[in-house]
A and B are shown apart, each in its own frame.
Chain A
Amino acid sequence: MLASLMQQIVSGLAIGSVYALVALAFSLTVRALNQINFATGELFMLGAYFGIAFTVMLGLPFWMAIPTTAIAVSLVGVAFEKLAYRPIFKANADHPARLHILIICSTVGTGIFLQNGAMLVWGAQALPFPKVFDQTPLDIFGVLIPSEYLWITLVAVLLMAVLNFFLQSSWTGKGLRAAAQDRETAALMGVRLSAADSWTFGLSAGVGAVGGLLIGAISFAYPTMGAGYALKGFTAAIIGGLGSMRGALVGGLLLGLAESLVIAFISSVYKDVVAFSLLLLFLQFKPSGLLMKPVQRRV
């Protein structure tokens, strides 16, 4: 019992750290642009396919596939910004309400496009990922833990640390944070806003894609795999506070743990109920999440 509980917790943290990556992908565009990218799940899915492409077709080792996948899907995100976001933003910048609706349409549409594109290129059926993680479980105090879960957690947390360091310490990162807080003033400091927006979409896409890559690596890649993770990641972002980086991590891990505890003590049948109940509860009673101050932000 204890062993299986331990295993559930470890797998819960691993899946939760992937939720955290997706939550972060959502939060990046919300924070910078006040827009939800509804293609986040499909960029996640691209991560899994690009991972297969890099490891199987190009023969890269898995640790190399992580940065190459992140960069490749980031470039997809940059193209996304230039083609599906910027023209709409430029034409409607003075009409925030209309802009929101159009961006929802545009990102939903891009998601459908990416999903169908993946189906055309790779087919509708699930593609198996090569076994990249060591299959012998780790023996921790007599409890056997599949090592892949530890790797997933490690890679996800490391990626978030790197991103955090980039945003806090690099000049580009500081410019992005400034633009997220006050676009006009950031422009007066010399931040090029359209470049900042490209960065935002690129980072968001890249972070989500690594999540897809990690999930792909322990299961399969298939065109619709992003939908469920997008919903879970969005829930995690709401729990932690949509727009907050630490909130994404906390919300992701909490959701992952909650799901695994439900599996351990009740039944895996009810796993998804957890996320949706939490989503509804938070939206109803604490929409700003655990870590976001419900502050008024300047636009």
Chain B
Amino acid sequence: MSLLEIRSLSVSYGRIPALRDVSLDVEEGEIVALVGANGAGKTTLLKSISGLLPRTPGSIRLEGELIDKASPANVVRAGISHVPEGRRVFPEMTIQENLEMGAYVRHREAGVGQEIDAIYERFPILGERRKAMADTLSGGEQQMLVIGRALMAKPRLLLLDEPSMGLAPKLVTAIFSIISEINGNGTTILLVEQNASKALGVSNRAYVIENGQIVMSGASKDLVSDRKIIDAYLGEAID
């Protein structure tokens, strides 16, 4: 059984369709990349998994359990953390409070404080500035903060929406190595990226989405050498 199983999902904004008949699987332990151009529907797909958009028709299952009627608050309780596009820190909260918000669903459990310390160990820059307001951080630091915040929920599946967007090349490399590290620690990841070469490089499998439809899927190492993918998404990056 797949960890995440999406079947024939369609989503529309009012009368405008954004996803058409999308099916997608994520197996336990994988990194699955979802690549596609601007406006292809990547964000829409992540939002419908996490319950931010109403979803009909189609089905979304987490370990066989239907979650496509669940509210965002219940989807995260079921074990899916969504890092939304655009580094959505809580700007008027400190770094520490942002991380605490990540543990909102498990605040009755013990050990939240220690886990925050573990995040600080992984991202020392956050630890140094734990009392600073989140909107004083740089873009790269904010990206680390929102990833760390999502990890605080101890997700089984992490949804990442364009974590490298707008970052300097060095930071992009850093973010991708963080992604494989998180996966190495046992968290399954569904990664949305426009940076297709990096995304294919870090993932096991990938889906290509165009105009709301999945047009291609397969092992990432096969897709990197696919002529159509090179022409459409990799271009110079490969040359």
Which of A77-85, A149-157, A175-183, A264-272 is near enough to bind chain B?
A175-183
With A174-B101, A175-B104, A177-B93: A190-B73 Cβ-Cβ less than 8 Å: yes
Contact of A178 among B51, B72, B93, B105 (CB under 8 A): B93
Q: Is A105 an interface residue (CB 8 A)?
A: no
Instruction: Tell whether, in the assembled complex, residue A189 and residue B76 are in contact, meaning their CB atoms are under 8 Å apart.
Output: yes
- Give A211 to B105 CA distance when docked, in angstroms: 35
- Complex Cα distance, B73 from A234, in Å, reads 34
Whether A190 and B88, one on each chain, are in contact in the complex, defined by CB atoms closer than 8 angstroms, is no
Partner of A188, one of B50, B91, B100: B50
Q: For A193, give the chain B residue with the smallest CB separation.
A: B73
Q: Are B52 and A181 in contact (CB under 8 A)?
A: no
Taking CB atoms, residues of chain B closer than 8 Å to A190 are 72-73, 76-77, 104-105, 153
- Chain A neighbourhood of B71, CB < 8 A: 187, 192
Say yes or no: A188-B84 contact (C-beta < 8 A), given A174-B97, A181-B90, A181-B92. Answer: yes
> By the criterion of a CB under 8 Å from any partner CB, how many residues of chain A are at the interface?
19
Q: Indicate if the CB atoms of B73 and A184 lie closer than 8 Å.
A: no
Task: Tell me, in angstroms, the Cα distance from A261 to B50 when the chains sit together.
Answer: 56
A191 adjacent to chain B (CB < 8 Å): yes
Q: Does A171 contact B (CB under 8 A)?
A: yes
For B100, the chain A residues whose CB sits under 8 A away are 174
Q: How far is the CB of B23 from chain A (nearest CB, A)?
A: 24
**Interface membership of chain B positions 143-179, coded 1 if the CB is closer than 8 angstroms to chain A and 0 otherwise:** 0000001000100000000000000000000000000
A185 at the interface (CB under 8 A from B): yes
A192 to B97, CA, bound (A): 18
Q: Mark A26-63, 1 if CB is under 8 A from B, else 0.
A: 00000000000000000000000000000000000000
Residue of A nearest to B76 (CB): A190
Q: Chain B's nearest CB lies how many Å from the CB of A299?
A: 12
Chain A: interface secondary structure? helix
User: Considering the chains assembled together, what is the distance between the CA atoms of A186 and B105 in angstroms?
Assistant: 11
Closest to B98 in A: A178
- Neighbour of A191 across the interface among B73, B81, B88, CB < 8 A: B73
Once bound together, how far apart are the Cα atoms of A125 and B93, in whole Å?
A: 48
A182, chain B: closest CB distance, angstroms:
6
Q: Is B42 an interface residue (CB 8 A)?
A: no
Q: Which residue of A lies closest to B100 (CB)?
A: A174
Q: Given A181-B90, A181-B93, are A189 and B84 neighbors across the interface (CB < 8 Å)?
A: no
CA distance A186 to B88 in the complex (A): 10
- Docked-complex contact B104 and A171, CB < 8 angstroms: yes
Q: List B contacts of A188 (CB < 8 A).
A: 50, 52, 72, 76, 81-82, 84
- Give a binary string over B60-94; 1 marks a CB under 8 Å from any A CB, 0 the rest: 00000000000111001100011010001011110
A186–B82 Cα distance when bound, in Å, is 11
A152-175 near B? 1/0 per residue, CB < 8 Å:
000000000000000000010011
* B41 within 8 A of partner (CB): no
Structural contact, A189 and B102, CB atoms closer than 8 A = yes
Chain B: CB-nearest residue to A195: B73
User: Quick check: is B107 within 8 A (CB to CB) of the other chain?
Assistant: yes
Contact of B88 among A94, A174, A182, A192 (CB under 8 A): A182
Q: Determine whether the beta carbon of A185 is less than 8 Å from that of B73.
A: no
Pick from A94, A174, A184: contact of B104, CB below 8 A. Answer: A174
Chain B residues positioned under 8 Å from A184 (CB to CB): 52, 72, 84, 88
CA distance A298 to B50 in the complex (A): 20
User: Complex formed: what's the CA distance from A175 to B76 in Å?
Assistant: 14
**How close is A142's CB to chain B, nearest CB, in angstroms?**
46
A191 to B52, alpha carbons, bound, how many Å? Answer: 13
CB B94 to nearest CB in A, in angstroms, measures 11
Q: Distance in Å from the Cβ of B153 to the closest Cβ of chain A?
A: 7
Within the complex, the shortest CB–CB distance from A64 to chain B, in Å, comes to 31
User: Which residues from chain A contact B101 at a C-beta distance below 8 Å?
Assistant: 174-175, 178, 186, 189
A187 adjacent to B73 (CB under 8 Å): yes
Query: A175 contacts which chain B residues (CB < 8 A)?
Result: 101, 104
Q: Is the Cβ of B90 less than 8 Å from the Cβ of A185?
A: yes
**Most-contacted residue by chain B among A94, A186, A189, A193 (CB, 10 A):** A189
Evaluate contact between A185 and B76: CB separation under 8 angstroms. no
For the complex formed, measure the closest distance between the CB of B190 and the CB atoms of chain A, giving whole angstroms: 14
Smallest CB separation, B124 vs chain A (Å): 24
**Chain B 124-155, CB within 8 Å of chain A: the 1/0 string?**
00000000000000000000000001000100
The 7 A-B pairs with the shortest beta carbon distances in the complex, nearest first, are A190-B105, A187-B72, A185-B88, A189-B104, A190-B76, A190-B104, A192-B73
- Would you give 9 A-B contacts (Cβ < 8 Å), ordered by A? A174-B101, A181-B92, A182-B88, A185-B84, A185-B90, A188-B50, A188-B84, A190-B73, A190-B76
Q: Given A175-B101, A188-B81, A190-B72, list of 19 further CB < 8 A pairs?
A: A94-B14, A174-B93, A174-B101, A175-B104, A178-B90, A181-B93, A182-B88, A185-B90, A187-B52, A187-B71, A188-B52, A188-B82, A188-B84, A189-B101, A189-B102, A190-B77, A191-B73, A192-B71, A192-B73
